[in-house]
Amino acid sequence: MTAPAPVTPTGTRPTPANSPKSATSVKLKVHPVILAGGSGTRLWPMSREQHPKQLIGLLGEESLLQSTTHRLDRLEAGYPLAGQLTVVANEEQRFTTAEQLRTSGKTSRLILEPVGRDTAPALTVAALSVAAQDEDGIMVVMPADHAVADSQGFRAAVAAGVQHAAAGHIVTMGIVPTRPETGYGYIRIGAPLGRDDARNAPDAEASSGIVAHRLDRFVEKPHLELAQRYVESREYWWNSGIFIVRASTWLKAIRHFQPAIHEACEAAFAGGKSDGDFFRLQRDAFSASPSNSIDYAVMEQLGGDQSITSGVVVPLEAGWSDVGSWDAIWDISEKDADRNVSRGRVMFEGANSTFAHSEGRLIACVGTQDLVVVETADAILVADKSRVQDVKKIVNRIRADGGAEAANHRKVHRPWGNYDSVDTGERFQVKRIVVKPGARLSLQMHHHRAEHWIVVRGTALVTRGDERFIVSENESAYIPLGVTHRLENPGKMPLEMIEVQSGSYLGEDDIVRFDDTYGRQ
């Protein structure tokens, strides 16, 4: 393997003399990259297909995505931090994702995946985006749905990893296991690296005390007995799914190990278009990419083929959790004297080691032990804590039965606001609608239903056929079946109203859009 070019203490990489750029040196920057396309089915009923776990405040007021955007704040790694986040997300969650990024106060480039193709293609299009502006940018790749308790410890581990990435390695963050865990992938670590293995890392590693290891190999999620042997051997660490790598290094690796992924992503990026806050990949090209994870596509290949680069494992001791299931949330949450965790309206009586989360109604747990109870407006989960990995099987059954609870909450977020289906029956449905200030719904028409709008707070501007008129608080408007209409909020406060639908069919697909501010069809 050819040794990567050394990195100078000033944060620049000398260019070989035979390179077209030999007259200059290339300034390295650290680019935060967030992969935000997960679904989180094991955290149902809070996490839904259209509103997955990274968009939910599972651990506090901020969503997991918003917490991730701040994770590299005040990073001191010897290289400047890029001023823009690179975020790869699912097209169907684009508006909520964009809104949460804006409220986090971060500038971001939001790349939209038209279809899910797992993490290897997602990282590849992110690398293409970073390389277009900073060819040798060092990417810190973070899933949007993880939790980190110790921000300072996280930044210290990243700073150590950045030095190895700058030297041309692919760095993965490993977690020293505390228990046999069948829900995680594992990394077998190799020999510890000496001071000379990271070209610019001696001072950073000496001051932090963080010792990196060579990557021996990645292994799949084990059964319990094998996981126990892994932990006892002390040679295997959990795979955190956090990677640090130069954009150019990743692109060389993916081109070498997975040329079909590289070709499809390159075509999708080249054919992509900017659309307001979004960068849309070319749908057909991206859809042609094989679906594969970073682990399978590249990391598992590094042990046997180091002709392109090599892998390095940096230990991460920062209270990390992948927040992958309800027992993981119980594990990292503050507990009472009986090891119970409560969120919302919850009462315990003689309960032990119970997790209860209420979105509204009172949950009373009497004599329960090792249970998970989660209440939302339209679903309740009761599970043995040892079986929470099987929640995804329930979600699959709901989806197979055509149940709406797999995809959406009763309260559905839209770019203009949200609606909550508070009641439904034969030939009628009642919704509570909230429209953000200055926002408006599409100009639309329904074939099978009429609508009656009642304003309870704020002011509505209504388009009905050729009419445009204001509806104030305690006033109403009727929209007959088949009439073109639009609802707008011209005010500076949220518009709240009740909508009563009546007709032979009340599905959301009975919408014919003629004009839409948000580019929906």
**CATH number for the domain that contains residue 162:** 3.90.550.10
Flag whether 2 is in a domain.
no
Q: Which of 400, 431, 446 is the last residue of a domain?
A: 400
Same domain? 160 vs 171: yes
Residue with tokens 């040794």: 3
Angle of helix 247-257 versus helix 119-133 axis, rounded to 10: 140
Same domain? 310 vs 455: no
Same domain? 252 vs 380: no
Q: Which of 380, 400, 420 is the last residue of a domain?
A: 400
pLDDT at 294: 94
Flag whether 18 is in a domain.
no
Question: pLDDT tens, position by position, for the chain (521 residues)?
Answer: 333 333 333 344 433 333 333 323 457 899 999 999 877 789 999 999 888 999 998 888 899 999 999 999 999 988 999 989 999 999 888 989 999 999 999 999 999 999 999 999 999 999 999 999 887 899 999 999 999 999 999 999 999 999 999 999 999 999 999 888 888 889 999 999 865 554 444 444 444 678 999 999 888 888 999 999 999 999 999 999 999 999 999 999 999 999 999 999 999 999 999 987 799 999 999 999 999 999 999 988 886 666 778 899 999 999 999 998 999 999 999 999 999 999 999 999 999 999 999 999 999 999 999 999 999 999 999 999 999 989 999 999 999 999 989 988 888 889 999 999 999 999 999 999 999 999 999 999 999 999 999 999 999 999 999 999 999 999 999 999 999 999 999 999 999 999 999 999 998 889 999 999 887 76
Flag whether 204 is in a domain.
yes
- Which helix (H) or strand (E) covers residue 363, if one does? strand 363-366
- Please count the structural domains in the chain: 3
* Domain range enclosing 393: 327-400
pTM: 0.85
Same domain? 465 vs 381: no
Flag whether 12 is in a domain.
no
Same domain? 201 vs 264: yes
Same domain? 394 vs 497: no
Determine the residue type at 399: R
Flag whether 310 is in a domain.
yes
pLDDT at 10: 34
Same domain? 74 vs 44: yes
Same domain? 347 vs 444: no
Same domain? 178 vs 76: yes
C-alpha angle 315-310-133 in degrees, rounded to nearest 5: 90
Phi, psi of 96 (to 5 degrees): -65, -40
Helices (runs of H) and strands (runs of E) counted in the chain: 13, 32
Q: Which of 373, 374, 329 is nearest to 48 (CA)?
A: 374
Q: How far apart are CA 146 and CA 68, in angstroms?
A: 8
Flag whether 14 is in a domain.
no
Same domain? 344 vs 473: no
Flag whether 1 is in a domain.
no
- Which helix (H) or strand (E) covers residue 371, if one does? strand 371-375
Same domain? 243 vs 151: yes
Same domain? 222 vs 307: yes
Flag whether 266 is in a domain.
yes
Q: Which of 290, 307, 324 is the last residue of a domain?
A: 324
